[in-house]
Amino acid sequence: MLRRGRASLAFSFFAQGATFALLVTRIPAIQARYGVSDALLPLFLAAVPVLAGVGSVTTEQLVKRIRPSRLLRWSQPVVLLALLGAGAGGRIAGLAVALGAFGLAVGALDASMNMLGVSLQRSYGRSIMLSFHAAYSLGGILGASLAWVGAHWHLALWVSYLPVVVVLLPATLVGSRWYVDGDPAPLGEERGQGTGVVFKLLLPLCLVMTFAYIGDSTVSNWSAKYLKDVLGSSEQLATVPYNVYMVTTLLGRAIGDFGVRRFGAVAVVRLGTLVAAGGFAVVASAPGAWVGMIGFTLLGLGLCVLVPQTFAAAGRHAFENHGPGASDAAIARLNIFNYVGFLVGSPLVGALGEAWSYRGAMLVPMVLVLVTLVYARSFAAQPDRYGGGHERPRTADVGRGSNGL
């Protein structure tokens, strides 16, 4: 039961990674198809994470009555159909509707996926959260590759998107039969009180989530421009850093769970923070393109562990103190801050680059990521909360195992 639930949820993460990559990597083609001006494009792009935040807040309320598995089951098809709508429409109003539906649904999808991931990790009694995000990274690599093929062969957007939707939509619906929910949430006033306390406990993790996504959006939005304009690379080479970043993110997440089990979440988060900060330092001081590539490689290896472990820590602390209802609420609220980081990161680096220098601008996300060291203890587990006996208390990173629920 748990294995099938884990496999089906991993596929959901994979599908979402591919879907999101297909959207963001074809933004120039979408802009050209609909004739969106350069002045209007940022508004369209900002609307997606804003609406995703609304979707995440709404999910917090919906899971009081609807299990996260059901929300995920029906939000993922909406995201896929919205992607197809963005590629198949012909008027700018249609694009606005498609992106609006995408944003609202993706907020519910991200929140419910991570709710199920955290509850499954709790049932396993050991770290598995990074493996789900590794599946997301793998999907992102596939989606970006398919987008490259579509651009290379000058395929219409709907031609690129339709086969993906035709394959993934029924596959995710079938796989959703095996999603595994956590324990039912307590109802009524007791639950409401618990979620109120959770928000106070969340503040350090909200900052970590925001700063991690500022770092991530810096790479996704500025790596190509930085390599070409600052480090003097060719236009072809400038496309490589983000691909390298995605591959190293996948590798880091693929082995990250083993590190958490052996050394504990706090040690892994601290190491990831230092590696990511070192990556930004190398990028900022790089004398040429190839050294800059090393910096972006380090960024992928460092940043990749922060977001999954932040979700895991939020869900664990909320569950231990206030039960599963508080765990779901904590994840929904924390999820909002990934969109905050995404919204802030790119404009922040761009403004600093224009007003100061792009080398100097790279030091700002470095400093912000280093703040994680201050809050690293927020990722610690409570040793007396572990059950099942399959991990040592000092190294386990999840709440009570399935025998201790």
Instruction: Express each pLDDT in 219-278 by its tens digit.
Output: 988 888 898 889 998 876 877 888 889 899 999 999 999 999 999 999 999 999 999 999
Q: Residue 253: what pLDDT?
A: 96
Q: What is the pLDDT of residue 324?
A: 66
Q: Provide mean pLDDT across the span 313-318.
A: 90
Q: Residue 29's pLDDT is what?
A: 87
- Please report the pLDDT score of residue 398 as a whole number: 39
Residue 88's Cβ-count burial label (10 Å; 0-12, 13-18, 19+) is: middle
Q: Of 148-152, 267-271, 323-327, 359-363, which gets the smallest average pLDDT?
A: 323-327
Phi and psi at residue 74, in whole multiples of 5°?
A: -105, -15
Q: Which amino acid is at 57?
A: V
Buried b / exposed e across 120-129, counting CB within 10 Å, b at 16+?
bbbbbbbbbb
Alpha-carbon span 391 to 405, nearest angstrom:
16
- Do the beta carbons of residue 54 and residue 100 sit within 8 Å? no
Cα separation of 290 and 75, whole Å? 41
Cα angle vertex 45, ends 344, 346, to 5°? 30
Task: Grade residue 403 by pLDDT with cuts at 50, 70 and 90.
Answer: very low
Question: What's the chain's average pLDDT?
Answer: 87
Cβ(383)–Cβ(393) below 8 Å? yes
pLDDT interval class at 382 (50, 70, 90)? low
| Separation CA 269–CA 304 (nearest Å) | 10
- Check whether 126 has a pLDDT greater than 80: yes
Q: At what angle do helices 2-24 and 68-88 cross, to 10 degrees?
A: 30
Helices 41-62 and 92-124: crossing angle in degrees, nearest 10, is 40
pLDDT at residue 280 above 90?
Answer: yes
pLDDT at 92 over 60: yes
**pLDDT of 320:** 83
The end-to-end CA distance of the chain, in Å, is 17
Give me the pLDDT at residue 198, please.
52
337 against 395, higher pLDDT: 337
Smallest Cα–Cα separation from 173: which of 242, 246, 251, 80? 80
CATH class of the domain defined by 1-176: mainly alpha
Query: Residue 395: its pLDDT value, please?
Result: 38
Q: How far is CA 255 from CA 138, 249, 259, 382, 389, in A?
A: 14, 10, 7, 24, 22
C-alpha–C-alpha distance, residues 252 and 303, integer Å: 9
What pLDDT is attached to residue 10? 97
The C-alpha atoms of residue 36 and residue 62 are separated, in whole angstroms, by 35
Residue pLDDT, tens place only, 165-219: 999 999 999 999 999 987 654 444 343 344 444 566 789 999 999 999 999 999 9
Burial of 142 (0-12, 13-18, 19+ CB in 10 A): middle
Structure tokens at 15: 């599908």
Cα–Cα distance, 172 to 16 (Å, whole number): 10
Q: Where in the chain is the domain with CATH 1.20.1250.20?
A: 1-176, 184-396
Residue 105 CB: number of other CB atoms within 10 A? 23
pLDDT band at 93 (very low <50, low <70, confident <90, very high): very high
Q: pLDDT tens across 128-137, in order?
A: 999 999 999 9
301 HSE (CA, 13 A, CB side): 13
Helix axes 92-124, 2-24, angle to 10 degrees: 150
Q: What is the fold, at CATH topology level, of the domain defined by 184-396? A: Growth Hormone; Chain: A; (1.20.1250)
What is the signed CA dihedral for 288, 293, 294, 300, rounded to 10 degrees? 150
Q: What is the pLDDT of residues 31-71, one digit of tens each?
A: 889 998 878 888 888 899 999 999 999 999 999 899 999 99
The two structure tokens encoding residue 135: 């599946």
Cα dihedral across residues 331, 333, 62, 78: positive or negative: negative
Q: Which of 80, 65, 72, 77 is nearest to 112 (CA)?
A: 72
Give me the pLDDT at residue 183, please.
Answer: 62
**In the predicted structure, residue 404 carries a pLDDT above the cut 80:** no
pTM of the model: 0.87
pLDDT in the model for residue 199: 65
Residue 3 has pLDDT above 80, yes or no: yes
**Are the C-beta atoms of residues 261 and 395 closer than 8 Å to each other?**
yes
Q: How big is the chain by its Cα radius of gyration, in Å?
A: 20
